[in-house]
Chain A
Amino acid sequence: MRTIEVDARGLSCPLPVIRLAEAARDAPANTRIVVLATDPAARHDIPAWCRMRNHELHEMTEVAGASGTGEPAGQSTYPTYLRFLVLVPPQRSKAAGTGSGSARSSAPT
């Protein structure tokens, strides 16, 4: 399973979600997307995006200090940040890129 990383630290809303959406648009099914973000809105908006776009938010963790393992260089610039693991669904619905209607009706989680 392929994993790609979106480092959106230092970007403010709605850029982290836009970077995630770009990565998800171009990624094959079952890709794992790791998103790093420092914007306070990302805590709410990345889960909301996953719900609207039928992607699974596998985990959301707060990363503090130098405890991260395998994190990219530059983490010292951001003492704390959020790390999201998003799974691109196995079957990409055709609506994924175009159908706001299906995204809206997918409210129950």
Chain B
Amino acid sequence: MLPAARTTLMAALDAGWADPRRLYAEGRAARALLDQAREVLAQGLGVRPAEVSFLPSGPAALRAGLEGLRYGGRRHGARMVASAVEHSTILTTGRYHAAMAQDPSLWAEVPVDRLGRVDLSALEQAVAIPGTALAAVQSANGEIGTRQPLQRAHALCLAHDVPLLVDAMASLGRDPTPEHFDVLAGDARSWGGPSGLGVLIVPERTRWRRPGPVSDVEHGRTDVEPMVALALSAAEAWRQTQATREDQSAVSSALVRRLRVAVSGLHDVEVVGDPHDRLPHVLTFSALYVDGEALVVELDRRGFAVGSGSACTSSTLEPSHVLAALGVLTHGNVRVTLPLAAIAPSLDDDVSRFIAELPDAITTVRAHLGACDL
């Protein structure tokens, strides 16, 4: 979280504590702050304030986006289509609905290529099937960094009158804001805001309806009243991040390029994802004969906090569905996500130190398994 967002959060806890639906002065003050936050984000995302709703998290917003498109399109049918690398919220919800209806044809996962890019001709075939209520394609994958061709995906969805749900949880604030969507979901964490705040964008033209009883919260798109201070903090973070986004992107890209060159020179290490058309701040690789969990722990010991898509690091003991969909090595996986410069002022030095220490960390972990001479 950006320092400025933290300051705003603390101040807003005092100024915006009241229920924004109440008519007394404190309630009206909270309402004004909430409206202000909504306007900042609406302007930043190129939509109207009434099209912006705050939800309790990015995944909650994504799930609400999916359920509302499904319900809004129920006269068309209940079939849903998604790329195989979508957020697990999309995949588990889609599979759940198909399983409950005992009809596997209601759910289709569109394959991706070795770089993680969705197969557009397969997507077109999938959305051409009658009864399709929605398609879900992310702006970019937070695990491997690959961007998706949203403009073309949206055009072919439009041609078949299927609304496109775009998950922008990994890209908002880091990449240009997506313009091609029918519903958009994001998470304030991606632009340096607080956790506990998602945004759901439902343009007026979109046929979207929340299943369940009518709600008067957040334009009827949730029944959870947002915390005003979180919304205001997220808006402040957005203003800061947007003002520096292009510089930030150039800095991150240069560091990721350095990381990529160093990592791909290592023995039996494969860098994952598209080398060019990608998020500027993410780099993912898999090291052969390495236990992902052991490598994450070893890097943590050396002061680096990295993610992993390897099975042994997940609660389910299943490897990342994203790595599996690409057909790349799932073990020994490490994901480096660079923080914003305002959060990590020593980023440049940290990356240099990471590059210096990684080979030894990998060798150490391989040696534990007696796998150094394969």
Contact = CB atoms under 8 A, between A and B. Distances in A.
Contacts of B371: 14, 18, 21
B317 A18 contact: no
A98 B370 CA distance: 16
Interface in A92-109: 97-98, 100, 103-104, 107
B268 interface: yes
B38 interface: no
A44 B327 contact: yes
B288 A52 contact: yes
A27 to B, nearest CB: 13
B332 interface: yes
A62 interface: no
A48 interface: yes
Contacts of B324: 43-44
Interface string B341-374: 0000000000000000000000000000111011
Given A103-B268, A104-B264, A13 B311 contact: yes
A22 B330 contact: no
Contact of A41 (B268, B289, B331): B331
A44 B326 CA distance: 9
Given A14-B291, A41-B311, A21 B318 contact: no
A22 B328 CA distance: 20
Interface in B256-312: 264, 266-270, 288-292, 310-312
B319 A18 contact: no
A25 B374 contact: yes
Contact of B289 (A14, A40, A43): A14
A48 B327 contact: yes
Given A14-B289, A48-B329, A41 B374 contact: no
A interface, how many residues as a size bin? 20 to 34
Contact of B374 (A15, A22, A39, A48): A22
Given A14-B291, A40-B317, A44-B324, A100 B267 contact: yes
Contact of B330 (A13, A15, A25): A13
Interface in A8-42: 12-15, 17-18, 21-22, 25, 39-41
B114 interface: yes
Contacts of A22: 374
A96 to B, nearest CB: 10
B268 to A, nearest CB: 5
B290 A14 contact: yes
B288 to A, nearest CB: 7
Where chain A touches its partner, the secondary structure class is helix
B157 to A, nearest CB: 29
B359 to A, nearest CB: 12
Interface in B188-232: none
Nearest to B291: A14
B270 A18 contact: no
B330 A18 contact: no
B270 A104 contact: yes
Contacts of B328: 44, 48
Contacts of B264: 104
B323 interface: yes
Contact of A52 (B270, B311, B317, B330): B270
A45 B290 CA distance: 12
B266 A44 contact: no
A30 to B, nearest CB: 20
Contact of B331 (A21, A25, A45, A103): A45
B324 to A, nearest CB: 5
B374 A40 contact: no
A39 B328 CA distance: 16
Given A14-B371, A18-B369, 7 more contacts: A13-B319, A13-B331, A18-B289, A44-B327, A48-B327, A52-B268, A52-B270
17 contacts: A12-B312, A13-B292, A17-B331, A25-B373, A40-B319, A41-B311, A41-B319, A44-B319, A44-B323, A44-B327, A44-B329, A45-B319, A45-B329, A48-B327, A51-B327, A100-B267, A103-B270
User: Which 10 pairs across A and B sit closest by C-beta, in order of nearness?
Assistant: A14-B331, A21-B374, A48-B329, A13-B331, A41-B311, A100-B267, A41-B319, A100-B268, A44-B324, A18-B371
Interface of A: 12-15, 17-18, 21-22, 25, 39-41, 43-45, 47-49, 51-52, 97-98, 100, 103-104, 107
